[in-house]
Chains A and B, each alone.
Chain A
Amino acid sequence: MASVNLEKIVKTYPNGFEAVHGVDLEVRDGEFMVFVGPSGCSKSTILRMIAGLESISGGELKIGNTVVNNLRAKERGIAMVFQNYALYPHMKVYDNMAFGLKLAGLPKQEIHERVTQAAKMLEMEHLLDRLPRQLSGGQAQRVAVGRCIVKRPEVFLFDEPLSNLDAKLRASMRVRLTELHRELRDRGQPSTAIYVTHDQVEAMTMGERICVLKDGTIQQVDTPTTLYDRPVNAFVAGFIGSPEMNIRPATVVARDGGLGVEIGDTMLPLPAAYSDALRNLIGQKVQFGIRPEHIGTPRSILAAGSQERAAIANCTFRLREHMGNEVYTYFDLGGHEFAARIPTDFAGEIDKAERGQTIPLGFVMDKAHIFDADSGLNLTLSALPPA
């Protein structure tokens, strides 16, 4: 049983570049934690520091109750799955899985039991006799996972393990990995997992909690739904969700009985709940954020029952993308480009719209966020319903 604790973890490279700036994080025992962020955000570096492949320049790293800063990788009780699987090409699958156990000096009988058990769990008993080059991408991935399982580590580390697979396989492996984690946890085996990805879909679907990173600092750590509904800043809001949240410059203005935001020449009224938080900002520049699914045609807004909270504005149509059940609609409002996700059933008027035509669209304003223009902090967080 092991939690992973990072306290003020710093990574400075010999050339003086500070990649990780004092990260504090607790990964609870048995939890599936996802590190997500754009490339260069140091998510892999942090994972590699936990693994013992990179030295820790400062701070304290604990696995369970042990400080492991100066322990070698093999003494930390971890196992890792690499992006390109990193199977030993000259060893058969069985030996790939058994290699670590052999080095640890386990008796042959036990190695055999563990390997066959893991192979059964991953449905790959028929692969044990093959060489890595005889495996498909998905199979190699399973072997890499199997190599971790046999070691019965306290903590599983995954470094973008699905990014070399094609889209379909990735989706199914995602489910398998999540199931595997729950299965191990239900059996009472140690199953703390840290999973690094740049793909926010993987993060949202797999993570029990997600740690969003940018430039070596943690932006927000929370459950997927909280991250989605209550992002602490514009970066998290923009990173989580696809298509990404529309975040555009705007000005807070006063209107009869409340506040509004002015985007170019268009004013959208803000809900009364936001008044307290934004009263001091009248006349100031902010960033207005709204998710594409909270913009719709008058009919789709009506169908969703949010007509009372929605503001209708005249927009200039640019482009549509048919996704089957939804139509992604791109349009201009007040000189800025926005995207909307509109259910196909209610997209009638969009379907006929010409480029440059004016169309009325509704904005569900109590789902909108106002971010500080400079710091990007979410100013309306206190006014949003609690998670």
Chain B
Amino acid sequence: MSSETIATALPKTRIPSNAEVLRTQRRERISLTLRYLILGSVGLLMLYPLFWLLGASFKSNQEIFTTIWFLPRDLTQLLDFSAYYNGWMTRTEFTFATYFLNSFLIVIPRVIVTLISCTLVAYSFARFEYPGKKLLFSIMIGTMLLPPIVLRVPQYLMFKELGMIDTYWPLILPSAFAVDTFFTFLVVQFLRGTPRDMEEAAIIDGCNALQLLWHIVVPLLKPALISVALFQFIWTMNDFIGPLIYISTVEKYPVSLALKMSMDVSGEVEWANIIAISIVALLPSLTVFFLAQRYFIEGATSSGIKG
């Protein structure tokens, strides 16, 4: 059929005028601008305390307590980083370098043992059949509902018996036995959502259970494991109660305890120093988060396998 016949065969339709198209486009633009404006201002409102914190690290005590605006009155103060220096040096014989190092001495081993123990336990729950599996899994989920505080006293007594008080062991060792139930649960669910075909193919290719875990399952679990590592890193970095209970020597304090200690010192507290150092304390967690963000979102939202 030629184009002419098509044109004549069609009923006469109204062709939209140029003005109508422009009007529609303008309306869409306005509504889009409005939406971004509202979302943006709400977002700013939520971030304001953070901006204020940043600004406050350059202010004097008097200004901190009298102004709500985040920038210091005298903008040249923004060039004065003495609060960061003073905060870092602390009033003790140790600088924050020591405390950061201490924090990492807790965080890094803990993340590693968490990853290993979670993967092993989750692999067994998700892929093997054995008597009592359902019961064990329910118990594990049950411990997730237990308030952590109820375990503090018995755990303290236990570690005291083992002579581990004032060492980092009580902060690291539990994670080696997959007591971070939430993480184990996360990995189990992720693994349940991934098809078994690849593992079966690998069995036929000649893998034994451990080769299977290393060559196939761990790469499949990568997004979930990155989420676990990230959460564990941030939570351990920010943990205050744990070190408070078990660590008594100032030399062994992690960042969270050291920050608190800076506030405790009798006499005039220079708030800018504390605020400055608390900003510095945020940096490792933020850095790790942004580095792992891509995988983290993948791990939290999907199984990472395309159909």
Contacts and interface: CB of A to CB of B under 8 A. Distances in A.
B296 to A, nearest CB: 18
Interface string A295-338: 00000000000000000000000000000000000000000000
A151 B201 CA distance: 13
Interface residues of B, number: 20
A140 to B, nearest CB: 11
B281 to A, nearest CB: 36
Contact of B204 (A73, A85, A133): A73
Nearest to A100: B205
Contacts of B219: 88-90
Interface in B273-307: 305-307
B205 A74 contact: yes
B201 A103 contact: no
Nearest to A51: B204
Contacts of B206: 73-74, 100, 103-104
Interface string B211-247: 1000110011010000000000000000000000000
Contacts of B197: 82-86
A53 B220 contact: no
Contacts of A84: 195, 197, 307
B130 to A, nearest CB: 12
Interface in A64-95: 73-74, 78-80, 82-90
A89 B198 contact: yes
Nearest to B206: A74
A52 interface: yes
B203 interface: yes
Interface in A7-59: 51-53
A228 interface: no
- Most chain A CB within 10 A, of B206, B220, B222, is at B206
B201 A82 contact: yes
B205 A89 contact: no
Given A103-B207, A104-B206, A86 B201 contact: yes
Contacts of A51: 200, 204
Give the dominant DSSP class at B's interface.
helix
Contacts, number: 62
A52 B195 contact: no
Nearest to B216: A88
A87 B204 contact: no
A346 interface: no
B198 A88 contact: yes
Nearest to A101: B205
B140 interface: no
Contact of A78 (B195, B204, B211): B204
Contact of B198 (A52, A73, A86): A86
A99 B204 contact: no
Contacts of B207: 103
- Most chain B CB within 10 A, of A86, A87, A133, is at A86
B54 interface: no
Contacts of B204: 51-53, 73-74, 78-80, 100
Interface of A: 51-53, 73-74, 78-80, 82-90, 99-100, 103-104, 133, 147, 151
11 contacts: A51-B204, A84-B197, A84-B307, A89-B305, A90-B222, A99-B205, A100-B205, A103-B205, A103-B206, A133-B306, A147-B205
Which 8 interchain pairs have the tightest Cβ spacing? A100-B205, A86-B197, A74-B206, A90-B219, A86-B201, A103-B206, A73-B204, A82-B197
